[in-house]
Chain A
Amino acid sequence: MLAQFGYGILVVTFVVALYSVTAAVFGYFNKSASLVESARRSMLLTFPLLSVAALSLIILLVQGDFGVQFVYEVTSKSMPTYLKVTAWWGGQAGSLLFWSWLMSAFASLATLRKWDRDREFLPWVIVVANVTLAFFVALNIFFENPFARLYQTFDGNIAAYTFAPANSMPFAPADGRGLNPLLRHPGMVIHPPMLYLGFVAYVVPFAFAIAALVTGRTDDRWIRITRRWSLWAWLFLSFGLVLGGRWAYDVLGWGGYWGWDPVEIAAFMPWLTGTAFLHSVMIQEKRGMLKQWNMILIILTYALVIFGTFLTRSGVLSSVHAFAQSAIGPSFFIFIGFTFVTSVGLLIYRWADLKAEAEMKSMLSREALFLLNNLLFMSVLVVCFWGVIFPLISELATGQKVTVGPPFYERANSPLFAALMLLMGIAPLSAWGHSTVATLGRAIWKPGVFAVGITLLAYATYTHNVIALIGFFLVALVILVTLYEFWRGARARQKTQGESFFAALARLTGRNRRRYGGYFIHISMMLMAVGILGIELFQKETQGTVQAGGTMELHGYTLVYKDIAQWDDFASGVNYTRAVVQVYKGDQLLTELHPRTDYYYESQQNMTIPGVRSTIADDVYVLLVDWEPASAIGATFKVYVNPLVNWLWVGSLLFLMGVIIAAWPEEEREPSAVRAKQNAHQTSAAD
């Protein structure tokens, strides 16, 4: 009953969303405020409706109604309740519903804002949000119904149907298949929602951009309204990416965190355009330039978000050919094509209105360096996109399927990342409008000398690897330049306001959150870069089989295999095999590690949990690979030493703090057009 009810609610939501779109369009063209208001209200209605549908699904999941196909696929009796709830996004049908639910929540939040000055945007924001919503709800209704039930027809076949077929009996298996054990990790429980929050939040700036294009109000109003939206979207997306990396490191047992597989890249691509967008909107706000470019970036981000949702969702992705396998594949491509062509059409229609108000003069001005930053992000995007579609291209061109692996991305992207780091070091010192080599040189030489000093120190004490040294130099340069900027700003305040240094530093950051939050993010990214350089360039590994009491050596560490134990946990249907390994450095016992293998009876799947000793210098990462079940005397281990990898996680946490600083609400200053114009003529480096 509840399943049919939930499906019914989905259908109602679909109709309401379509009505809302229609009312908004007619309301706009007939200048009928009441029709637009009706559209707004029906938009607000979609959130409670989808909440009811979602609640129905959650109840089915928690109750364990295995007659519902989705419940059967993602839960089982032995799973704890919180995992049954989060199984909501553990499969395709459920996660599409989750997407729609978030979409309606964000759309409602956006429509609840004060619209006073921006009334004309409202109908088109509603149209974009609800067209997107209607598409995702339609996927649930027509292709991936999370409420479909299993039926057995008289010839014995069992399949899932939305409506009972003729001559059939409902079928309810005794237990479900359960969530893939690999996904039962806290990181994996919140990783997809974070990515989705990021994806969905990007729909809002896109909706305002389209509204600006349709209504012809092409000043920077849409950017100012959605500035905070794009920052939060970026925060969630970044957080989702980091969590995914951490999950891979903890669970997948290959000692790595990022494998350049198409699903990861799918989530990475909107992050790239989103990051470029964050930077380039500042040029439009300050200088009235790059208006067309910002439109292109947000349109691309939206398209990549939809594309990313599809890629991360279709699960069976090993090659581009998986697209065709999924029932929802063609619909996604049609939808992406439709929205993309429409947006680009609108952009071309308004192209002339989006002309820059100022001209870029100096190659070293802040805006030119921001433009370069954008070009580099787009280059990384092109590299990633090329890597993903290359198999398709080569097959069309030569008939031979050829693919490119991680070495491609690493080789092509490394110089681009290095250039981005160099920019991060230079750009904060440049001035809007005009900078010269001389002015920049005066600002950069002190941090530059220090960075060279640190690099020489690294050469003397740590490594002779050239790539690592270049990396360390850039990291040092960026961190020093950025700290120097904080120091310079705080000192200036200290002098003029007579505050203590730290009070001045806090006020400075508080007054200009986006700028100093951004610098904070730059520093955190450099810490992450240290971790990435460490694990990519200096990772050591060994493997071997040892007897109880035997030892293995790696990179100055001695590992002693003590013993192994095996036991069953009947309640959760898992068999644990746990080894005890002591880690020594010289004669000193550092710690005891417990690498494990969990065997899930239900899904007949192993899960390898590493034992990790984590310090700021390196991680000792031990995997239990195999053992002799009868005598329990010999066990096989794979051991990694991952230098500096913790800097990646520490940097990630600081990074998130930085985004929160930048995105934290502050009082909206009067953003009138006059002010924007004034800014356009200012060329001070201070702002």
Chain B
Amino acid sequence: MPDEPPPRPAWARALDPARAFVEEVGTLGDLALKTFVWALRPPYRFNVMVAQLEFVGVQSVFLVGLVGLFTGMVFAVQTIYGFRRFGAENMVGGVVSLTLSREMAPVLTAIMVAARAGSGMAAELGNMRASEQIDALETMAVNPVQYLVVPRVFAGLVMVPVLSLLFFLVGLGGAWIVGVYGLSLDPGIFADRIRTMLEPGDLTQGLVKSLVFGFSVALIACRHGFYASGGAVGVGQATTRAVVWSVVGVFVLDYAITSILTPVG
């Protein structure tokens, strides 16, 4: 007969969420370390890498472009509405470019990638776990972290910055269309404000953020898919968790990076 475990005291149960959090951080850290180590070891499977770059990057271009366009357009309208109150609508070009480069482009691109590619990664890896395909890789002496996780994390790391840049440019275009053609701002001033207000540091901050977000979104998605358990229900839960936690991760990391890279006060 199986031994009945002794009942756990209330204080131990109360600490469960904290323990789960520490375990989660540990699991992610462990997977990140393995990903790093296995990324350096041969063989380097370029065709698998290219497939993931295509999945994460190329297939997200339309979505990211669309969201970028409307974000830029909305932002232009809202900024003009607010700045007109004190006659500063000419600043719109500069403000939109600052906001897009430092915040909107990296954050919203990472969220789009989490929703589209992250969910796909978690569902695919979760299904591979449930149908023993990950075990099969191991029995064929292929390290599954190297074969499955490394290309996906690499694709996130490379493609989120590229897509962020696209988001930034298309967003700026959207703001231009709304500001210049819709709300009759002077195109010369619009462009001049971008030139004078946007500094290399703003673009650097956007780049650093999108690199970190790309890595974390792909890693969190892979973590939930790779260690999924419990059949179809488990894969569904893993996919939901992957999206939720990678989006939460983006906002937490966003604050951390912003507070480090932005000298205020």
Please determine whether chains A and B interact with each other in the same assembly: no
